[in-house]
A and B are shown apart, each in its own frame.
Chain A
Amino acid sequence: MGLNNRIPAGELAQKWSTYKSTCKLVNPANKRSLDIIVVGTGLAGASAAASLAELGYSVKTFCFQDSGRRAHSIAAQGGINAAKNYQNDGDSVYRLFYDTIKGGDYRAREANVHRLAEVSGNIIDQCVAQGVPFAREYGGLLSNRSFGGTQVQRTFYAAGQTGQQLLLGAYSAQMRQVAIGKIKEYNRHEMLDVVTIDGKARGIIARNLVTGEIERHGAHAVLLCTGGYGNVFFLSTNAMGSNVTAAWKAHKKGAFFGNPCFTQIHPTCIPVSGDHQSKLTLMSESLRNDGRIWVPKKQGDTRKPNEIAEEERDYYLERRYPAFGNLVPRDVASRAAKERCDAGYGVGSSKMAVYLDFASAIERYGKTEATKQGKSNASKEDIIAMGKDVVKEKYGNLFEMYAKITGEDPYSVPMRIYPAVHYTMGGLWVDYELMTNVPGLYALGEANFSDHGANRLGASALMQGLADGYFVIPYTIGNYLADEISTPKINTNQVAFDEAEKAVTDRIHHFMNVKGTKSVDYFHKKLGLIMWNQCGMARNEQGLKQAIADIRALREEFWKEVRVPGTADSLNPELDKAGRVADFLELGELMCIDALNREESCGGHFREEHQTEDGEALRHDDKFMYVSCWENKGEQGWDLHKEDLVYDVIHPSQRNYK
């Protein structure tokens, strides 16, 4: 299969408007008879489903949760970027485009990213119109804050619950279409296969998670908006149910997987507290606006943080990256934390943590507040108290969450943080139209690989999910469906559906009948550990080769030894998990293969063999200026296809945040 990224010709800044003016359209009467399946109801899925239904298409949505509103986009805290330049600080579409490409360490497509920057402003407008209660200034206008990897304030937010508010906005638009019958919802359903007929995606096989019933759904196009695969590491900031299954089934049906090894490790998460740990909790990047990150200057220092004097603290990000300081991109901040902990400067009982300290911010805000209130001779205690109030207003919910999880008061003791798996830049390969190489099969949001290169900037995931769903797919899908208007409603009694359903049923039957000795979680945890140790923040050839062998062995053991209790015809969370972990066990191998193949360091992918003298990522643009597109060959493994990355406007250089 050849790869055509379908990037329109012409000037970069004109490509999208040219595309929009020239793509094929489907007339309203024809739209009604075209069915579209949307799998996943996060930002990308809900926004796409709502927008397509508004246009007149007949849409079906699927999600494994009990309601569309629960998709994990809801947990995004910090904000959403948009090149509005409301702050008059020099922002522009070009700068957002440039920052995103640079932040992604020059491994993203120029045309996609430019389009993303172009539509970013429309997203804010759309969300405001839907009644999303963004933070505002006293004058009634929208408020902004800054995020990592940028020098402007372009992040819009709603306290520490921006993802929630944006998702509920998209969900409300989706519910409006459900009410008028344009969208039919299938909640507590899991997609277990894509059905292709004559090479085109024509439907899916889904399992009703309550009754266990296997269902066939036909459609003229299938959109996978199923998020990322960070849970391959077992411990991540993803939701417990987040999984790769939908994307993986598509991959096995011919869709290429792009850059699977590009994983984002988020620098500010609450550290692991014990073996029981089921997931990791993120502390928003917005905290790095005001918090300062440090470790003791002395190795193995066991003193309490408040007993360590100012001059004995190493604010290592400010020291190493004076220009960006605590607001360096995520990959850089994470690696710096790992470097300090590995060198023996870590803090806390596990020594795998660094401090995120608000003391100086509290004092600074307290002084400003004292001046504002005209208290020129306020005591130190008063200043601290006023400062705490300001910090509480800005980050209250995050501080509370930290206190609940750790039992410590972050207003008086610095937070302990450590990097954790957060986002996957890799995903299904898609062209400019967000279509995979399987015609009629699309991937949107985190599920695709397209916009963030090797590292995503903070507050850009929400932007991409909504850009794809609200402003890209409504145009690009028409370009495909215009040629499908004479295709009648998809008949689900065709052989392809029979075969797909049989494969799904057989697999479930297999899980139920292994009757092994070990739980699904046992395998998931083992896989996670392999991935974290060998394919996490730092990777090397030997480790990756070992990991591949270990994963293969684990996979074999899984199919022989897994124990799935209960029955297949009832609500059975263990059965759901078994299917997901089986797919992770295959994906993990591909991630390691990809990481092994990419003999350079870029963004979140850090190969120890390839670093500069001062430990920064060292790219090899001459050899790896491409997207790795992996084709599944079943038992034979994978074939690598390369999509060359062509930079017409930006000149890739060594990223510099100093």
Chain B
Amino acid sequence: MKEKIIEILLVEDNDGDVELVLEAFKRSKIKNNITNVGNGIEAISYLRKEGKYKDLNRPDLVILDLNLPIKDGRWVLTQIKSNEDLNDIPVIIMTSSNSQKDILNSYKLNANCYITKPLDLEEFWKIMSSIEAFWLSTVKLPSYSQQ
């Protein structure tokens, strides 16, 4: 079986954070392809394969920031999890907010997990490693069967 490249959709508008995530996943042993969109509308378009995203692959994993321009991450999360075709995709919320409200709300909207962006770079590397170890290696993604 050829090695599958894990498709990850990163919904993040902060270029710095995008850079860091890309750098982190570059260090991963598991092959992956990250696409970045900067706002909620673009994210949903991508997922629905609308317009310019028509021919692109369905992501295996979504990393979603809550604070986005135009439409925020909460809206995107709701859209994904209420859509029959999309709600099986695991969504990792990765955001700077530490508030109990945001955390609880996200899980209520069926986010798969919630991560607060750490202040320290070392911490960040550790978290990205664990995401990689868990979501890209340990767990079976829904798209597993579609290999």
Is B one of A's binding partners?
no
